[in-house]
């Protein structure tokens, strides 16, 4: 499974430069040959499984509701992310999938099979824990082989698979070491490999990158995503970091207070958040209260703005989302655009882009401009602010 010759090895993929990206499609003849040698025993690849959650409830104590009537379907082979702030129930949901927590009510189906009452050690589901939970009394090799050993696979089989997976994650030289001799990034990979080696139907990842520094995290985000695509395994990933969720996921479920607020692809969730919570959690600051609305306009704190009639909702109240990157400053714009007057209050120079904090009709508005070819606006400058009606999104409270 790990010596699939159509894709790159993990170590190559950590270099996210164009050279290694090219290798993804065309492996060098040398590596192909090595792969063929490794593929002496052909095994049938386990089919990825879909996951269905039906009316899941979970309470802790009397008043803490961790999950409130959660219905969710995760497709087979999908990279699915549970996103939300701490205490939103995302980890509880993951633990229910693993079998480490029992739901108070509701059913859980994996691959169409009801496994609600199956204990964790009989589920073909493996977890990468936030703390990695590697066994300190065992060597790296024994850690990797733990699941295979518990499943009763022979010593020879275990040895072969451990060597294979260790090569796959490019840590072959470390297998005889003790866990406490590894760096954080190495532990993370061993924890991942320990779960992958069992070839589960579903792999669960509980904030596996949160303990790593930013650089390593970005690199492993790319790696994880490639591994998932390559193995075709169903991944359920938990994180509180919306950037991480958007980079990696096929679909995202945003949770708050035990309730799924929205499920969608990264761009659906980012560009069309269903409510104010999702919008704020996805990092949107430019939300303006709507006082009144008609067919093709809304009255907001900023003033009256025209918008796409398709965005119109039944309810009068709500929020208008204006994404900072859709605002045009001092540009030569057509008649279609909404035009506002503003003043620059603050400028944050980010290199590739520049962020401005503007004051428009006494309200703070954030605007982002790509740093290409234009003059930077200075603090105190009066600027014309334009936004196209189609870029305005109505968001429920």
Partner 1 sequence: MAETLQIAFRGKAVVSESRHLLLSVSPGAIWIVVFLVLPSLYLMAVAFMTNGPYGLPQMPLTLDAFEQLAGFGFLGWSPGNLYTLLRSLWQTFLATVLVVIVAYPIAYYITTCREKWRAIMLLLVVVPSWTNQVIRTFGWMNLLAPGTPLSDAAQMLGLIPPNMGLYPSNFAVTLGLVYNFLPFMVLPLYAAFEKLDTAQVQAAQDLYASPVRAFWHAVFPQTLPGLLAGTVLVAIPAFGMYVIPELLGGGKGMMLGNLVANQFAGGSNWPLGAAGAILMLIATFIGLFAMRRIGKRLGGGEEVVI
Q: Give the footprint of partner 1 on this chain (CB under 8 A).
A: 98-100, 119-122, 125-127, 129-131, 133-139, 146-147, 150-151, 178, 194-195, 198
Measure Cα distances from 192 to 205, 276, 326 in Å: 8, 35, 39
Minimum distance from CB of 309 to partner 1 (Å)? 51
133/379 with CB nearer partner 1:
133
Minimum distance from CB of 184 to partner 1 (Å)? 15
29/136 with CB nearer partner 1:
136
Minimum distance from CB of 152 to partner 1 (Å)? 9
Q: Is 254 left (phi over 0), alpha (psi -120 to 50) or beta?
A: beta
9/194 with CB nearer partner 1:
194
43/121 with CB nearer partner 1:
121
Q: State the distance between the two ends of the chain, measured CA to CA, in whole angstroms.
A: 47
Minimum distance from CB of 103 to partner 1 (Å)? 17
Minimum distance from CB of 8 to partner 1 (Å)? 27
Tokens, residue 27: 């492996």
125/358 with CB nearer partner 1:
125
Closest alpha carbon to 115 in 103, 133, 128:
103
Element (H, E) at 59: strand 51-60
9/123 with CB nearer partner 1:
123
Minimum distance from CB of 158 to partner 1 (Å)? 13
125/252 with CB nearer partner 1:
125
34/118 with CB nearer partner 1:
118
- Please check whether residue 134 is in contact with residue 211, taking contact to mean a CB–CB distance below 8 angstroms: no
Question: Which residue is associated with the tokens 């003033």?
Answer: 303
Beta strands 79-83 and 251-256: pairing type?
A: parallel
Minimum distance from CB of 299 to partner 1 (Å)? 52
Tokens, residue 26: 């065309």
DSSP label at residue 7? S
Cβ burial 135-165 (10 Å sphere, 16+ → b, else e):
eeeebbbbbbbbbbeeeeeeeeebebbbebb
Helix (H, G, I), strand (E, B) or coil at 338: strand
Beta strands 287-293 and 259-264: pairing type?
A: unpaired
Tokens, residue 105: 């009510």
152/380 with CB nearer partner 1:
152
DSSP string, 171-236: -GGGTTSBGGGS-HHHHHHHHHHHHHTT--SEEEEESTTTTS-HHHHHHHHHHHHHHHHHHT-EEE
Minimum distance from CB of 141 to partner 1 (Å)? 12
Q: What angle do CA 172, 4, 123 make, to 5 degrees?
A: 80
Minimum distance from CB of 110 to partner 1 (Å)? 14
């Amino acid at each position: 499974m790990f010596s699939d010759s159509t894709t790159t090895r993990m170590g190559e993929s950590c270099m996210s430069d164009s050279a290694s990206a090219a290798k993804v499609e065309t492996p060098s003849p040398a590596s192909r040959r090595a792969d063929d040698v490794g593929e002496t025993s052909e095994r049938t690849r386990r089919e990825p499984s879909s996951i269905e959650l039906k009316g899941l409830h979970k309470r802790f104590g009397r008043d803490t509701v961790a999950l409130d009537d959660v219905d969710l379907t995760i497709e087979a082979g999908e990279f699915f992310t549970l996103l939300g702030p701490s205490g939103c129930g995302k980890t509880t949901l993951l633990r229910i999938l693993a079998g480490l927590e029992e739901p108070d009510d509701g059913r859980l189906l994996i691959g169409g099979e009801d496994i609600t009452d199956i204990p964790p050690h009989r589920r073909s589901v493996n977890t990468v824990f936030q703390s990695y939970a590697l066994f300190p009394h065992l060597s790296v090799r024994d850690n990797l082989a733990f699941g295979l050993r518990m499943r009763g696979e022979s010593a020879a089989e275990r040895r072969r698979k451990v060597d294979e997976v260790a090569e796959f994650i490019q840590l072959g030289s470390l297998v005889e070491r003790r866990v406490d001799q590894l760096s954080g990034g190495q532990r993370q990979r061993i924890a991942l490999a320990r779960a992958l080696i069992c070839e589960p139907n579903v792999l669960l990842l509980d904030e596996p990158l949160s303990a790593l520094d930013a650089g390593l995290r970005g690199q492993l985000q790319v790696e994880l995503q490639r591994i998932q695509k390559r193995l075709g395994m169903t991944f359920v990933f938990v994180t509180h970091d919306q950037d991480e969720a958007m980079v990696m996921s096929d679909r995202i479920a945003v949770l708050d207070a035990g309730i799924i607020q929205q499920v969608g692809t990264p761009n659906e969730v980012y560009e069309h958040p269903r409510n104010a919570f999702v919008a704020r959690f996805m990092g949107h600051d430019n939300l303006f209260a709507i006082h009144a609305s008609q067919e093709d306009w809304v009255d907001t704190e900023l003033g009256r703005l025209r918008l796409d009639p398709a965005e119109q909702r039944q309810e009068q109240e709500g929020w208008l989302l204006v994404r900072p990157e859709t605002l045009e400053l001092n540009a030569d714009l057509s008649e279609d655009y909404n035009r506002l007057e503003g003043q620059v209050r603050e400028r944050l120079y980010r290199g590739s882009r520049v962020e401005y904090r503007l004051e428009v009709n006494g309200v703070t508005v954030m605007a982002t401009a790509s740093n290409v070819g234009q003059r930077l606006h200075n603090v105190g400058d009066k600027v014309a602010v334009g936004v196209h009606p189609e870029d305005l999104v109505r968001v429920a409270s």
